[in-house]
Amino acid sequence: MINRITNHSLYPNFLVFLQFSIIGLMAFLSKGFFSSTFGLAIFIVGAIVGLWALTHNQLGNFNIQPKLREGSKLITTGIYALVRHPMYTSVIVMMLGFLVSTLTLVETLLWLILITVLLLKAKKEESLWLEHDEAYESYKKSTKLFIPYIL
């Protein structure tokens, strides 16, 4: 049953929809990361992680959906040498900046759901990469999912 859902053609679109819906809802409910110096600092760290990832990945190789584009190539330089999904790390950290600025139970639950959605996206991408590039297995063993040296 789960394979049937995750292999459905609409599954990637659904995950992207959930991701942006949660981000939008968190931004709407939040006081904003500018309302807290600590929240702003966390947001900036997340943005730096995202920019670092973009400097090592070509736009044609980048995809917001958990799908591989034709001609995709594995990136293993820069932050990709430490984590396999730095753009997801960036989103998690930036939204943590919103969370600490407001810190309500609803925002906390939304942030945890966002992490779950990004984890599902990462797992879908990884299954595709394992089919696409035999080097991915080795890359997966030498890096962490989201947090260098930890997770």
Residue of 51, 79, 63, 93 lying closest to 144 (CA atoms): 79
Q: How far apart are CA 68 and CA 103, in angstroms?
A: 36
pLDDT value at residue 30: 87
Residue of 98, 94, 88 lying closest to 29 (CA atoms): 98
Question: How many Cβ atoms sit within 10 Å of the Cβ of residue 141?
Answer: 7
Q: In 3-state terms, what secondary structure has residue 32?
A: coil
| Model confidence pLDDT, tens digit, residues 75-107 | 999 999 999 999 999 999 999 999 999 889 999
Q: Residues 6 or more apart from 120 whose CB is under 8 A from it? A: 6, 15, 66
Locate the domains of the chain by residue range: 2-63+73-142
| Model confidence pLDDT, tens digit, residues 44-72 | 999 999 999 999 987 667 778 888 888 78
